[in-house]
Amino acid sequence: SSPGIPSGKRVRRRVGRDKKVAQLAESAGRLDYERFKAGIYQPMAALDTLMPAVVEDFISAVEEGVFSRRGKPSDKYVDQIRGKLGVAMFDMGMDLLADTQDGDGKLLLFLQRLLAGDVKDREGNWVGGGAGSRSGKTRAPMSASQRDEYGRLLKQFGKWLEDTDRVSRNPFRKFKA
């Protein structure tokens, strides 16, 4: 049996004194066991997974409408998310899933560079706010609200990483818009 996977025997572990917490822990264990029986349980996915593959898995979840209250999002919205995540992962140097270990520190520096207009995409074009920066040829600072969009998106991405057992905790959890 794998660590954290029940061996088939019913084992009740009491977590703390609170009955509600114990019940939640037990139900989480049952869910893990059901995933294991179905062959889809991956406790902490391989940290050497390439980040573009992880981002595409997230994009697939977005396309299915997992995060939307209004159904499936438009193709334009999905492309914007793909672009923003691509810029963020490139600028923060996150090539592998393991690179998210110091996500909060990298995120803070990335958001500061966005405000200053010091961020380029993979093609070497400037990422920023003003009308002159639309072509990517000129450097322009980004507004605080645009910067916060990136922060919220990365925090949502981190929560998805945690919810899908790819990381043990959200690497961008400390961001507050």
For range 109-137, the mean pLDDT: 74
pLDDT of residue 81: 92
Which pTM was predicted? Answer: 0.67
Choose between 26 and 79: higher pLDDT.
Answer: 79
What does the DSSP 8-state code read for residue 91?
Answer: H
What confidence tier does 84 reach under pLDDT thresholds 50, 70, 90?
very high
What pLDDT band is residue 1 in, cutting at 50, 70 and 90? very low
- End-to-end Cα separation, the chain, in angstroms: 43
Strands (DSSP E) found in 6-164: 119-120, 126-127
Tokens of 126: 């400037």
Hey, is 137 helix, strand or coil? coil
**What pLDDT score was predicted for residue 85?**
92
